[in-house]
């Protein structure tokens, strides 16, 4: 068995592309990065190939990863059937901010307390405004971008919709 994304044969296992029951094969590197949400852009150069897959589950997973990596250039080139797109965009759960308001992709939020960002060795200051948050696959988190960090995951309970 080889990885549907990067073609590695290292510890390949099956991974369910929620919310459908269809599976893809992932190597340990791809799986670890997808589950932690900490994506290495170089490793995921393999998405350049997997985006042309004829397998819908592989395309849907590729689409979600490209979105997380802000690769709009590749997303624009991808051809998705309507049902594949709906599957790719299906939200796992409703995201609610600290005031229980629903958060959606492209909303703006402010941060309600100082948050340490471990990978950047920085603190995101209370009341920082963040534009264009995105739903992501890490439960109860949104993905966003600040000027000093391009791939930040924030827990929704520390955010307030503005
Ligand atoms: Zn892989």
Domain boundaries, the chain: 13-89, 95-161
Residue 84 in this model has a pLDDT that exceeds 80: yes
25 DSSP β-pair partners? 14
Give the distance (Å) from ligand 1 centre to CA of residue 155.
27
Residues, beta carbon < 5 Å, ion ligand 1: 3, 5-6, 8, 27, 30
Average pLDDT over residues 49-75: 95
Is it the case that residue 91 has pLDDT exceeding 70?
no
CATH 3.20.20.60 fits domain 95-161: no
| pLDDT confidence band for 86 (50 / 70 / 90) | confident
DSSP one-letter code for 156: G
For residue 80, CA distances in Å to 14, 75, 122, 124, 152 come to: 23, 10, 38, 36, 27
Query: Ligand 1 centroid to 142 CA: how many Å?
Result: 24
Indicate if the pLDDT at residue 50 is higher than 90. Answer: yes
Other Cβ atoms less than 10 A from the Cβ of 38: the count is 12
Q: 118 pLDDT band (50/70/90 cuts)? A: confident
Read off the pTM. 0.59
pLDDT band at 139 (very low <50, low <70, confident <90, very high): confident
Burial 59-71 (b: 16+ CB within 10 A, else e): bbbbbbbbbbbeb
CA of 33 to the centre of ligand 1 (A): 10
């Amino acid at each position: 068995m080889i990885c549907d994304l990067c073609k590695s044969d290292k510890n390949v296992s099956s991974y369910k592309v929620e919310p459908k029951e269809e599976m893809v094969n992932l190597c340990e590197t791809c799986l670890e990065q997808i589950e932690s949400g900490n994506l290495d852009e170089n490793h995921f150069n393999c998405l350049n190939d997997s985006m042309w897959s004829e397998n819908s589950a592989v395309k849907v997973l590729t689409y979600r990863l490209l979105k997380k990596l802000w690769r709009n250039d590749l997303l624009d080139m991808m051809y998705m059937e309507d049902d594949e797109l709906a599957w790719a965009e299906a939200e796992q759960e409703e995201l609610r901010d600290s005031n229980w308001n629903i958060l959606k992709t492209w909303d703006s939020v402010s941060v309600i307390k100082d948050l340490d960002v471990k990978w950047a060795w920085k603190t995101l200051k209370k009341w920082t405004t963040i534009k264009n948050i995105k739903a992501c696959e890490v439960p109860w988190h949104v993905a966003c971008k600040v000027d000093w960090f391009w791939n930040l995951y924030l827990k929704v309970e520390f955010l307030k919709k503005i």
